Amino acid sequence: MAPQIERDLTSYDRFDSTDGIYKTREAAQRCIQGLTSGERLTEDCLYLDIYAPIEAIESGKQLSVLIYFHGGAFFFGANSLAVTPDKGAFIAATQDVVVVSVNYRLGAFGFLFSEALQSKLADEHGVQYSDSPSSGNQGLMDQQMAMIWVAENAKYFGGNENDITIGGMSAGGQSVHAHMVMESSKNLFHKAIAFSGPQGLPFYNAEEGELITEGIANLVECCEKPILDVAPPKCRNPINEATVACMKNKTAAEINAAAWKLEQFLPIGNFDRLTMIAEPYAPVVNTAMLEEMPFYSFSRGEIHDKPLLVDVSENEGAFFINLMMWGVQCEEDVTVCETNWNWMLEHLLSEEDLKTVTEADFYNCPEDPADECLPQADKFLTDFTWYCNMNKCMKDGFPVATRKFQRRNSDIFLSLTTQILPWQKVVNHGSAEYWFFSRITETNDYDQKDQDYQKQFQNYIANFIRTGSPNGQYGCNLKLIYPSR
C-alpha cells in the first residue's frame, strides 16, 4: 500500500508502516478530478497498483521494475485507467518485470502555486525557503514519494530496488521529462521512458501560477478583496496565509468545482498559450524543485546520465485538433473550420512566427473548399508541440543519428510509432501506450501483422526496462518496426 496524505494543498506525509493486512484485489481509488464524481473518486487516492509474477515473489527473485505515471493533462486520469489489472498482469507475466502504476494529485489539488503556499511548506518542513519543497508541484512530489516507497519495498514483491525505470504517457511523459532534470529525483530511478510527452507545452511560471490560484480563491470566496469583473477572476490582494487557511477549510468538492469553472476562463485574457487550453493545471518552474522548463535542460544536454527512451506517434496532434474542432463538419462548415484553425494559430504563435507559418504552403488549408483543414492542423500541432521541440532539444543537446529508432549519446533512444490502430484513421496521441500494455488477438479488427507488430514493440520496450537498450543486453538487433515517415 502506498503512502497517503491528509487533506492538504501542499506537501505530503509518510504513511506509517503497519502489520495490518490490506485486501488489494481492486484497483486503487482515483484522485478527484474534472466534473466526474462518485465513490471511486477521493482525496485519499495516493495508492499504487502493483503487478508481479507470482514465482518472483515466492522465489525472492529480483526483477526490473517499471513505475508508470498516467496521462490526462495533469487534470484527469488514474493509474487503473492507464494500466488496467489485466494489462498490468499481462506485461508482468509475459515480460518478467514488475509493473507499478501510480496515482498522483491532479488539478488544483496537485498543481496550485503561490508564494504563501511555498512559505507554508518551508515552515512545515523546518527548512529555508530556497531549499523547501515546491508549491505548485505537489503532483510531482507524489510521484517522487511513490519512487521512494517502491525502492524501499521492492524486495517484498519481487522487484529490484536498484533497477527501476520510470515511464509515462502524455502528461505522464512530461513528468518523466521533469524527473530527468530535477535534482531531487536524480537518485530515485535508473532508466526512463516517455510516451507522447509534449516538449512543446510550456509549464507555468510563478506569476501565472499565482493568477490561477487567485482565480480559485476568488471562486471559493477566499479573496479578501475580489475583483469580479475580469476573466479569469482575481484577488485584489496577494494570496496570503489567511487565504490559504480559508481554502484549506473548503470541501474537496468546492475546490474541484472552482478548478473546473476556472478552466473555462483560462484560454482567454492573459492566458493565450496552448498550455492554458490543453493543460489548465501543470507544473510550475522557477521553483526550488523545478528550476526551468525541461526543454531547456534537454537542449543543453544537462539531464541525468540515465538511459532514456522517447516515443512519439506520427499524428500526435490529431486528437487535440478534433477537440478544438468539436461539432464542426469541416467539409460542410469550411468557414467555421478555417476560423478555428486561424484562432488556434493566433493563440499559439508570436506575431513573427505567425507570419512565417501562414506564409508556408506546408500548413495552409487547401484552396478547394470541399477539402478539410484538419490534416494541415494536425501536421502543424504535431510539429509545434512534439516533433520540432523534441528534435531541437535532442539535436542541440546530443549527437543525432538518422534512423527512426535511433540511439543518441550511447543511451538516448528516439522511436516513432507509425502503426495505425484498427479503429483509428491515424496514429494518434499515446498509441505507444496501447501497443505496449494491451493484449490483442487475431479478430476482424486485428490481423497477424498487428499481432507481430505488438509483440516486437513489447519486446523493445521490455528490453529497455530490463537492460537500458531496446535491443537487449547482448546487442542482438531486433527487426526495425518503425518505417520511414
* Active site amino acids: 170
Is residue 103 within 8 Å of residue 68, measured between CB atoms?
no
Question: In angstroms, rounded to a whole number, what is the distance separating the alpha carbons of residues 465 and 469?
Answer: 8
Burial track 267-299 (b if 16+ CB lie within 10 A, e otherwise): beeebebbbbbbbbbbbbbbbbbbeebbbebbb
Question: In angstroms, rounded to a whole number, what is the distance separating the alpha carbons of residues 420 and 362?
Answer: 23
**DSSP assignment of 279-304, as one string?**
-SS--B-SSSS--S-HHHHHHTT-S-
Dihedral of CA atoms 423, 429, 430, 436 in degrees, nearest 10, equals 50
| Cα 350 from chain centre | 26
CA dihedral over 206, 207, 208, 213, signed as positive or negative? positive
Q: Collect all residues with Cβ–Cβ distance below 8 Å to 89 and sequence separation of at least 6.
A: 51
Question: In angstroms, rounded to a whole number, what is the distance separating the alpha carbons of residues 144 and 141?
Answer: 5
The three-class DSSP label of residue 215 is: helix
Strand (E) or helix (H) holding 413: strand 412-417
Is residue 377 within 8 Å of residue 320, measured between CB atoms?
no
DSSP 200: T
Grid cell in block for residue 13? 506525509
Is residue 171 within 8 Å of residue 250, measured between CB atoms?
no
CA atoms within 13 A on the CB side of 418: 10
Q: Collect all residues with Cβ–Cβ distance below 8 Å to 310 and sequence separation of at least 6.
A: 193, 194, 197, 390, 394, 412, 413, 414, 415
Nearest Cα to 384, choosing from 420, 401, 360?
A: 360
- How far does the chain reach from its first CA to its final CA, in angstroms? 44
